[in-house]
């Protein structure tokens, strides 16, 4: 056990809206600390709602998904705080995981590609294809399955800017040979210590089953996409080889890597 608690900062990007993401993230880090017998303290920073952002004294940082456009916030007070924080984290090489909305803002800020609206909302348990052998993917298959819930995407990678920062695209979205559209970027390794993902690795099977089985949510999915879409979501949530594996390994892999860096 560490002699002093590991300090984890969680940036809440949900802007005071109802969500499952923060609940799942907190549950994962609590479970991880118990399994590893590591004393841990965490603090939540509601950036978009209250303008709060962590300083440099934490050991590990996670930044959540959230609603709305990652483009329209350019120049706002909280967005300026966030991109300055991103640059500082890279400079001082702190372990950071950026999830969905956070990842989109980072890609926009560093001009890593075209951050744009999808033709339609992406929602469900879907495959992600790793492009490299990286420890963040330890114990995960190719493809692995994870929750996606997004209106936006990152396409048309700016290789010059990505290479200039020393970053690397490490995963793409599912193969769609019948769709004449570019596959979106699903994960980038910004540095040895900073990762960003377009999906929701925190998604937990039972919480999401309850969510998608709620009458209002079920009707919303069926009205927008048809009953078959809802049935596929439920079927994939019940598959033990899909979401549970990602939930059990992805964020814990990141935390293990972060602890390894802290102990060097």
pLDDT at residue 264 in the model: 39
Closest residue by Cα to residue 255 from 60, 91, 89, 65: 60
pLDDT at residue 263 in the model: 44
| 90 inside domain | yes
Q: Between 181 and 159, where is the model more confident?
A: 159
| 127 inside domain | no
pTM: 0.95
| 1 inside domain | no
| pLDDT one-digit tens code per residue, 103-148 | 999 999 999 999 999 988 899 999 999 999 999 999 999 999 999 9
Task: State the total domains in the chain.
Answer: 1
pLDDT at residue 262 in the model: 53
| 231 inside domain | no
Nearest-angstrom CA–CA distance, 21 and 19 = 6
Domain span holding position 78:
6-116+152-204+246-263
Strand bridging mode 114-130 / 144-155: antiparallel
**CA distances to 54, 144, 201, 223, 254 from 243, in Å:** 30, 8, 8, 25, 17
| 97 inside domain | yes
CATH number of domain containing 181: 3.40.50.880
Helix (H, G, I), strand (E, B) or coil at 127: strand
Per-residue pLDDT, averaged over 195-223, amounts to: 95
Q: Is the pLDDT of residue 2 over 90?
A: no
Per-residue pLDDT, averaged over 185-205, amounts to: 97
| 135 inside domain | no
Q: Is residue 10 within 8 Å of residue 53, measured between CB atoms?
A: no
| 224 inside domain | no
């Amino acid at each position: 056990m560490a002699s002093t608690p590991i300090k984890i900062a969680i940036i809440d990007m949900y802007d005071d809206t109802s969500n499952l993401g923060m609940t799942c993230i907190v549950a994962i880090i609590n479970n991880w600390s118990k399994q590893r017998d590591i004393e841990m303290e965490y603090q939540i920073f509601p950036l978009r709602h209250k303008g709060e952002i962590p300083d440099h004294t934490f050991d590990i940082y996670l930044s959540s998904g959230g609603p709305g456009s990652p483009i329209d916030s350019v120049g706002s007070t909280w967005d300026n705080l966030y991109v300055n924080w991103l640059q500082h984290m890279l400079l001082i090489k702190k372990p950071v995981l950026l999830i969905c909305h956070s990842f989109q803002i980072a890609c926009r800020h560093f001009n890593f590609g075209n951050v744009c609206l999808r033709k339609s909302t992406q929602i469900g348990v879907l495959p992600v294809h790793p492009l490299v052998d990286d420890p963040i993917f330890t114990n995960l298959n190719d493809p692995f399955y994870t929750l996606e819930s997004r209106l936006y995407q990152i396409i048309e990678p700016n290789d010059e800017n990505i290479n200039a920062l020393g970053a690397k695209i490490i995963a793409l979205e599912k193969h769609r040979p019948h769709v004449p559209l570019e596959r979106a970027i699903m994960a980038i390794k910004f540095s040895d210590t900073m990762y960003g993902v377009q999906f929701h690795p925190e998604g937990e099977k039972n919480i999401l089953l309850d969510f998608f089985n709620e009458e209002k949510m079920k009707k919303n999915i069926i009205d927008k996409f048809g009953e078959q879409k809802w049935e596929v979501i439920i079927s994939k949530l019940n598959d033990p080889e899909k979401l549970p594996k990602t939930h059990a390994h992805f964020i814990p892999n990141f935390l293990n890597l972060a602890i390894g860096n802290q102990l060097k």
